[in-house]
C-alpha cells in the first residue's frame, strides 16, 4: 500500500452535499483573513467544524432480518407510545416511537433502520422549534418515509430543528434498502423519529447514545421487555 493510500484509509469521507458550505467558508476565511488575521483563525475553526459536520464515516451494521438499527447518531430523547403522523398512512393504531436528537456535533448522515422497500415518502412543511422537544414531532418541518420489510411497515421521520433548514432525502419511492443503507441527511442539528409496531421489543432507553447503522434499537420476534411506557 502506498503512502497516499494509507493516508486515504485514515481519512473520514465527506459528503459532497457539504462541499459548497466548506468551500464558501474557506474562501471567506482566506479573503478576509488576508486583511485581518483574527478573522483567519476564527474562519479556520469554522471551516474545520463544517468539514467535520459533513463527515460520513463507514459503519459496521449487524445483519439480521429481525433487528432494527438506529437511523441516526445522537441521544435517545424519547421512548414512547403514540400514533404515527397521519401523512404516513400507517393507520390509527398506536406504535412505539423512538426519537433520536442530533446535536451539531453528531454525524448527520441518516441510515435505514431495517431492510425493505420504500413504500412512501411525504414531505411536510412546518416550524423550526428545538428538535429536542416532544412537540417537534408534530410541529416541525419533516420528511417521512414508510419502509416495508419482512416484519411489516415502519415509519422513519427526518425532522428539522432549531438551526436546521434543509432536509436531504437520498432515496425515492420503490427503492429497495439494506439495513444501515444511507437514506439522507439534515443540515445543522435535528431529529429522527422511528415508529415501530407494538409487538417489537425495544432495546434502548431514554438518555442512551445511539450510533447510526450500528446501535440496535429493537428486535422483532422477541417477547417485549417490561419497562415504563410513556404515552404521547
Query: Which pLDDT band holds residue 177 (cuts at 50, 70, 90)?
Result: very high
Which one of 99, 112, 137, 190 is the catalytic residue?
A: 190
CA distance between the termini of the chain: 55
Whether residue 59 is predicted with pLDDT greater than 80 in this model: the reply is: yes
Cα 150 to Cα 16, 63, 102, 119: the distances in Å are 33, 13, 28, 13
pLDDT in tens, 69-111: 999 999 999 999 988 888 898 888 899 999 999 888 888 889 9
CA dist., res. 108 & res. 18, Å (int): 11
Higher-confidence residue of 184 and 230: namely 184
Query: Which pLDDT band holds residue 8 (cuts at 50, 70, 90)?
Result: very low
Whether residue 3 is predicted with pLDDT greater than 50 in this model: the reply is: no
Query: Which pLDDT band holds residue 129 (cuts at 50, 70, 90)?
Result: low
C-alpha cell recorded at residue 54: 459533513
Q: Which range, of 5-9, 68-72, 124-128, 196-200, averages the lowest pLDDT?
A: 5-9
Q: What is the mean pLDDT of residues 181-187?
A: 87
pLDDT in tens, 34-58: 888 888 888 888 888 778 777 888 8
Alpha helices in the chain (DSSP H): 3-10, 19-33, 37-53, 136-139
pLDDT of residue 230: 57
pLDDT in tens, 13-23: 777 777 887 88
Percent of the chain exceeding pLDDT 70 equals 81
pLDDT of residue 5: 45
112 is catalytic: no
Highest mean pLDDT among 30-34, 87-91, 162-166: 87-91
For the chain, give the mean pLDDT.
82
Cα 118 to Cα 121, 144, 185, 215: the distances in Å are 7, 11, 16, 21
CA dist., res. 82 & res. 96, Å (int): 7
Question: Which SS3 state, helix, strand or coil, does residue 97 take?
Answer: strand
The domains of the chain are located at: 3-53, 67-226
Whether residue 127 is predicted with pLDDT greater than 70 in this model: the reply is: no
Top CATH class of 67-226 equals mainly beta
Amino acid at each position: 500500500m502506498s503512502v497516499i493510500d494509507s493516508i486515504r484509509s485514515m481519512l473520514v469521507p465527506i459528503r459532497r452535499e457539504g462541499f459548497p458550505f466548506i468551500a464558501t467558508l474557506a474562501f471567506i476565511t482566506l479573503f478576509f483573513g488576508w486583511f485581518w488575521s483574527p478573522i483567519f483563525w476564527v474562519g479556520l475553526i469554522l471551516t474545520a467544524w463544517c468539514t467535520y459536520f459533513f463527515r460520513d464515516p463507514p459503519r459496521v451494521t449487524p445483519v439480521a432480518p429481525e433487528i432494527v438499527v438506529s437511523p441516526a447518531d445522537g441521544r435517545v430523547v424519547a421512548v414512547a407510545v403514540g400514533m404515527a403522523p397521519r401523512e404516513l398512512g400507517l393507520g390509527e393504531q398506536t406504535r412505539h416511537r423512538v426519537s433520536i436528537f442530533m446535536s451539531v456535533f453528531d454525524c448527520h448522515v441518516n441510515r435505514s433502520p431495517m431492510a425493505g422497500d420504500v413504500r412512501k415518502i411525504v414531505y411536510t412543511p412546518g416550524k423550526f422549534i428545538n428538535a429536542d422537544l416532544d412537540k417537534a414531532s408534530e410541529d416541525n418541518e419533516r420528511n417521512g418515509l414508510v419502509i416495508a420489510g419482512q416484519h411489516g411497515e415502519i415509519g422513519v421521520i427526518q425532522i428539522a430543528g432549531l438551526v436546521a433548514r434543509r432536509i436531504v432525502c437520498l432515496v425515492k419511492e420503490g427503492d429497495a434498502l439494506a439495513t444501515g443503507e444511507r437514506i439522507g441527511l439534515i443540515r445543522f442539528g435535528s431529529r429522527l423519529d422511528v415508529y415501530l409496531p407494538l409487538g417489537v421489543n425495544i432495546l434502548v432507553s431514554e438518555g442512551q447514545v445511539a450510533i447510526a447503522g450500528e446501535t440496535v434499537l429493537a428486535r422483532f420476534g422477541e417477547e417485549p421487555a417490561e419497562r415504563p411506557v410513556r404515552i404521547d
